[in-house]
């Protein structure tokens, strides 16, 4: 898939205020500081489409971007960031779950995971939540450039094994990416394009 256009549409905290047309949506979510904004900018080939920040927890809204005029990339708040107040965290969690449970245009979620780390309960629990609610999702391993090839392969395998030891009978679709050198970009966009073709 070639990205010809990528435009910001709207930010809000209420599902009912999301775009009303029927274009398919792909929601990107992960722990704060997992590299979500950098990944979105890399995917769309735009330097500042999603605002990157050294301060985790920056994204606190549902952000819609329309890609090639025919699908939405949805940037969701990071979950589980300790320095957000408890009341704010509860509010973020509520509108995140509202989005996943009520948004009929949602085709697939993508859970971002820092490939340098062992599986974190907060990530696997969120994947379980998606599975229990019948929400299709894929895993995006970020920051692949930070590891040597053998370590990268080992960490991905460890993650897959951890999922299979849990509730999963098979590993969800997954992509190994790096925002700095565009690893995984073509594969991820081809995956989205393939789903879009089945919707038309």
Q: Is residue 81 part of a domain?
A: yes
How many residues are listed for the chain in this entry?
A: 200
For position 85, what pLDDT does the model report? 56
Q: Is residue 13 part of a domain?
A: yes
Q: Is residue 1 part of a domain?
A: no
Q: Is residue 175 part of a domain?
A: yes
Query: Quick check: 82 pLDDT over 50?
Result: no
Average pLDDT over residues 3-20: 93
Q: Is residue 177 part of a domain?
A: yes
Average pLDDT over residues 191-195: 97
List Cα–Cα distances, 19 to 27, 28, 51, 61, 92, in angstroms. Answer: 14, 17, 21, 14, 19
Q: Which two tokens stand for residue 123?
A: 């990530």
The C-alpha torsion from 13 through 99 and 27 to 167, rounded to 10°, is: 140
Q: Which domain holds residue 88?
A: 6-199
Q: Is residue 137 part of a domain?
A: yes
Q: If pLDDT is split at 50, 70 and 90, which confidence band does 40 have?
A: very high
Q: SS3 letters for 26-71?
A: EEEEEECCCCHHHHHHHHHCCCCCCCCCCCCCCCCCEEEEEECCCE
Q: Is residue 166 part of a domain?
A: yes
How many domains, in total, are found in the chain?
Answer: 1
Q: Could you tell me the CATH number of the domain that includes residue 160?
A: 3.40.50.300
Q: Report the 10 Å Cβ neighbour count for 96.
A: 21
Q: If pLDDT is split at 50, 70 and 90, which confidence band does 91 have?
A: low
Average pLDDT over residues 68-97: 74
Q: Is residue 144 part of a domain?
A: yes
Poorest-pLDDT segment among 25-29, 72-76, 118-122: 118-122
């Amino acid at each position: 898939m070639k990205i010809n256009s990528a435009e910001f549409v709207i930010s809000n905290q209420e599902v009912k205020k999301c775009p009303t047309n029927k274009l398919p949506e792909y929601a990107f979510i992960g722990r704060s500081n997992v590299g979500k904004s950098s990944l979105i900018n890399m995917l769309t080939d735009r330097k500042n489409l999603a605002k990157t920040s050294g301060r985790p927890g920056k994204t606190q809204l549902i952000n819609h971007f329309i890609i090639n005029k025919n699908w939405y990339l949805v940037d969701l708040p990071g979950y589980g960031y300790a320095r957000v107040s408890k009341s704010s965290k509860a509010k973020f969690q509520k509108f995140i779950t509202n989005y996943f449970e009520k948004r009929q245009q949602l085709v697939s979620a993508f859970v971002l995971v820092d490939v340098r780390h062992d599986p974190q309960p907060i990530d696997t629990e969120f994947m379980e939540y998606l599975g229990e609610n019948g929400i299709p999702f894929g895993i995006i391993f970020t920051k692949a450039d930070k590891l040597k090839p053998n370590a990268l392969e080992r960490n991905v395998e460890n993650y897959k094994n951890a999922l299979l030891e849990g509730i999963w009978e098979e590993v969800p679709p997954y992509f190994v990416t790096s925002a700095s050198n565009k690893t995984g970009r073509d594969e991820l966009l081809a995956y989205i394009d393939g789903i879009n073709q089945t919707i038309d």
